[in-house]
Amino acid sequence: MTSAPSLSWEAESVAFAEHRESETCWIELARMLRPLVAVRLGDTRAECEDVLSETFLALLELRARGGYDPERAAVPVIARTIAERRCLDRLRHSYRHPTRSLDRVDPEAGPHPVDPTPSVERRVVEAAAREARREAFRIAFRELQRADRAYGSCRALAVFYRYRFRIEEDDYSFLIESRPDADLPGWGEVAAQLGVTEEAARQNGSRGLRALRALWRDHFGELTGEQSPLRP
């Protein structure tokens, strides 16, 4: 068995602040954080590795902003705090947005109540409808991006960050109805992604949503309620 290389975190933290950290620094950080993240998130390897890379990136961004001071805390202390926050964010997110794989079938889910084996025709029609919805959204979204480019605003991306989980699920019903916002990423999160203030993110987001509705109406007709093609 090989023992872990000994590392002086005090010296390594100073080296990190001066952009000359050693390779061992990253190896040791990963070795230290991996069990912590695994305990917090459970045995989901994909998410654990994601949290690790997000943590490293956050550390590097902190340093790039000049926000890291080795006098105040050593690198592992900051890294641990960041990793724990990231785990919490993930857990909060997975609670609000439970995802399901399109590849795997849950054996405990039981048979589909309506149509256990949809016919080929039905599947083709559903797939075509889904593609049509995606393309329609993309057309309207691109037009909004084009307008943003002309006016120097960020309405399209504010809408994307705010509604991205619904967009990725092909659920565009947010264009026609105001559902409770509890499950949406907060404006603070949107602002952090866009690099603007929370207020600016909120303004861009609501203006973007209005503009998208208008663009959709111009291209594809009136937005209607229950029979809307915007639902998955």
Partner 1 sequence: MAFARAASERFRALGPGARRGLPETLAFGTLISDLRLRNHLDCLQLAERAGLNPVYLLMLERGLLGPDEIPAMVVARLAVALGRRLSGLPLLPYAVDAEPEDTVDVTEGTTWLQPGLSTLVSWVSALLDASSPTAPPAIRLPDLELRMGGRRWWARRAHLTDAPVPIPSSDEYSWRLLRGRGGRSRDRWWLFAWAGEADTEQPATIEVELTMGTQRRVSVAGARGLLSFDGLDLADLGPLRFRVLRAPG
Other beta carbons within 10 Å of 82: 19
User: Considering the rule CB under 8 A, would residue 168 count as an interface residue with partner 1?
Assistant: yes
Residues 108-127 that bind partner 1 (CB under 8 A): 124
User: Considering the rule CB under 8 A, would residue 92 count as an interface residue with partner 1?
Assistant: no
Cα(142)–Cα(137) distance, rounded to whole angstroms? 8
Q: Which of 10, 69, 126, 135 binds partner 1 (CB under 8 A)?
A: 135
Residue 1 CB contacts under 8 Å (≥ 6 apart), including other chains: none
Nearest alpha-carbon partner for 144 in 167, 114, 116: 167
Q: Which is nearer to partner 1, 157 or 209 (CB)?
A: 157
- The three-class DSSP label of residue 161 is helix
Q: C-beta of 211: minimal distance to partner 1 in Å?
A: 14
User: Considering the rule CB under 8 A, would residue 216 count as an interface residue with partner 1?
Assistant: no
Q: C-beta of 91: minimal distance to partner 1 in Å?
A: 14
Task: Convert residues 42-81 into a mask of x (bound to partner 1 by CB under 8 A) and - (unbound).
Answer: ---xxx-xx--xx-xx--xx-xxxx---------------
- The secondary structure element, H or E, covering residue 216 is helix 198-220
Which range of residues in 7-15, 81-89, 145-153, 214-222 is near partner 1 by CB under 8 A? 145-153
Instruction: Enter the DSSP assignment of 174.
Output: G
Which range of residues in 2-10, 35-43, 161-169, 218-226 is near partner 1 by CB under 8 A? 161-169
Residue 117 CB contacts under 8 Å (≥ 6 apart), including other chains: none
Q: Count of residues binding partner 1 (CB under 8 A)? A: 51
* The residue type at 221: G
Other beta carbons within 10 Å of 17: 16
Cα(58)–Cα(73) distance, rounded to whole angstroms? 15
Residue with tokens 């093609």: 229
User: Considering the rule CB under 8 A, would residue 207 count as an interface residue with partner 1?
Assistant: no
- The three-class DSSP label of residue 133 is helix
Q: Which of 14, 73, 91, 167 binds partner 1 (CB under 8 A)?
A: 167
Instruction: Enter the DSSP assignment of 2.
Output: P
Q: Catalog residues that contact partner 1 under the rule CB under 8 A.
A: 19, 21, 23, 26-27, 29-30, 45-47, 49-50, 53-54, 56-57, 60-61, 63-66, 99, 101-104, 124, 128, 131, 134-135, 137-138, 141-142, 145-146, 149, 154, 156-157, 160-161, 164-165, 167-168, 193-195
